[in-house]
């Protein structure tokens, strides 16, 4: 699992600016959604073109958060990256310029609805009442990507807990757009994963510095279970 402790100087500076270390504490579970981003075969299965080995390490934490969310009355949303030939046309910069044609077509096919690569990784513990949302871009909130925003607003949700893979791409863009749409964002430091510790830590620092709160699994489960403050003064 990635290291996820951020520099003390950054934590102290952010806490001073915000007035306390953790601004979204307490939370209202019934107005909260756990977002599990892209924990699919294409990203988790050994040998896949976009395998993220560290994504398998965070499975227990995500499952723990999902159960804690259900127990507290929060909503659990499994977000699946889902591509199609139409996506290749509407997102041509990504497919035609930022990848070779061969790589792009393989990715589109592996992430197509019904393909093995698109399916949720077998170790994820999805419950019958959980929601599934398919997205067509890295961010689930950007216009045209999914109906996640409408679903959450329809449930009165104002807080999102972000987990999944990759930390610095789909998780980060989803978190950034969520904050820009006025959601309170809690980014789980040991519930997200990417290709390197450097990329992971840089993203955690970016989220904490500007876009939301960064907390570990045990802290988030405590918030969900108790609904009472677990405030931590800046060290």
Percent of the chain with pLDDT over 70: 97
For residue 164, is it left (φ>0), alpha (ψ between -120 and 50) or beta?
left
Average pLDDT of the segment spanning 171-194: 98
State how far the Cα of 110 lies from the Cα of 113, in Å rounded to an integer. Answer: 9
Kindly report the length of the chain.
235
* Lookup: tokens for 193: 């994963």
The answer to whether residue 62 scores a pLDDT higher than 60 is: yes
* Lookup: tokens for 219: 């802290």
**Residue range 102-143, pLDDT digits in tens:** 888 988 899 999 999 999 999 999 999 999 999 999 999 999
Buried b (16+ CB within 10 A) or exposed e, 59-86: bebbbbbbbbbbebebbbbbbbbbbeee
The answer to whether residue 234 scores a pLDDT higher than 70 is: no
pLDDT value, residue 235: 39
Architecture (CATH level 2) of domain 8-84+121-226: 3-Layer(aba) Sandwich (3.40)
* CB hemisphere CA count around 181 (13 angstroms): 22
Whether 47 contacts 110, CB under 8 Å: no
What SS3 class is residue 79?
Answer: strand
* Lookup: tokens for 19: 């007035």
pLDDT value, residue 233: 36
Tokens 């499952």 correspond to 63
* Crossing angle (nearest 10°) for helices 217-226 and 59-72: 10
Tokens 């977000």 correspond to 79
Q: Which residue has the higher pLDDT, 234 or 12?
A: 12
* Lookup: tokens for 213: 């709160």
**Residue range 69-114, pLDDT digits in tens:** 999 999 999 999 999 999 888 999 998 999 998 888 988 899 999 9
**Where exactly are the structural domains of the chain?**
8-84+121-226
Mean pLDDT, the chain, rounded, equals: 94
pLDDT value, residue 231: 42
Using CA of residue 59, residue 64, residue 65, residue 70, what is the dihedral sign?
positive
How many H helices and E strands in the chain? Answer: 11, 6
Q: Where are the alpha helices (DSSP H) in the chain?
A: 8-18, 41-44, 53-57, 59-72, 85-90, 92, 101-110, 148-154, 172-180, 197-206, 217-226
**Residue range 8-43, pLDDT digits in tens:** 999 999 999 999 999 999 999 999 999 999 999 999
The answer to whether residue 57 scores a pLDDT higher than 70 is: yes
The answer to whether residue 229 scores a pLDDT higher than 50 is: no
pLDDT value, residue 232: 44
pLDDT value, residue 83: 94
pTM score, whole prediction? 0.93
Average pLDDT of the segment spanning 148-173: 98
What's the pLDDT band for 226 if we cut at 50, 70, 90?
A: confident
Cross-sheet strand order for the sheet of 213-215:
131-135, 75-81, 32-37, 159-165, 184-193, 213-215
pLDDT value, residue 79: 98
Average pLDDT of the segment spanning 178-205: 97
């Amino acid at each position: 699992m990635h290291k996820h402790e951020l520099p003390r100087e950054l934590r102290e500076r952010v806490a001073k600016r915000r007035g306390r270390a953790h601004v979204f504490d307490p939370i209202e579970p019934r107005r909260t959604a756990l977002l599990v981003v892209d924990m699919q075969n294409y990203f988790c299965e050994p040998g896949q073109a976009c395998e993220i080995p560290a994504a398998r390490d965070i499975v227990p934490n995500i499952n723990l958060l999902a159960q804690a969310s259900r127990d507290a009355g929060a909503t659990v949303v499994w977000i699946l990256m889902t591509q199609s030939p139409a996506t290749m046309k509407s997102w041509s910069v990504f497919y035609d310029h930022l990848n070779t044609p061969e790589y792009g077509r393989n990715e589109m096919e592996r992430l197509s609805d019904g393909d093995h690569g698109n399916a949720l990784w077998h170790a994820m513990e999805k419950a019958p009442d959980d929601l599934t949302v398919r997205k067509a871009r890295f961010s689930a909130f950007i216009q045209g990507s999914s109906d996640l925003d409408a679903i959450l607003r329809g449930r009165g949700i104002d807080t999102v807990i972000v987990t999944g893979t990759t930390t610095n791409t789909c998780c980060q863009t989803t978190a950034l757009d969520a904050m820009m749409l006025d959601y309170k964002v809690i980014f789980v430091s040991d519930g997200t994963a990417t290709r390197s510790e450097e990329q992971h830590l840089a993203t955690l620092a970016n989220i904490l510095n500007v876009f939301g709160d960064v907390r570990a699994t045990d802290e988030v489960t405590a918030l969900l279970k108790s609904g009472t403050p677990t405030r931590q003064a800046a060290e």
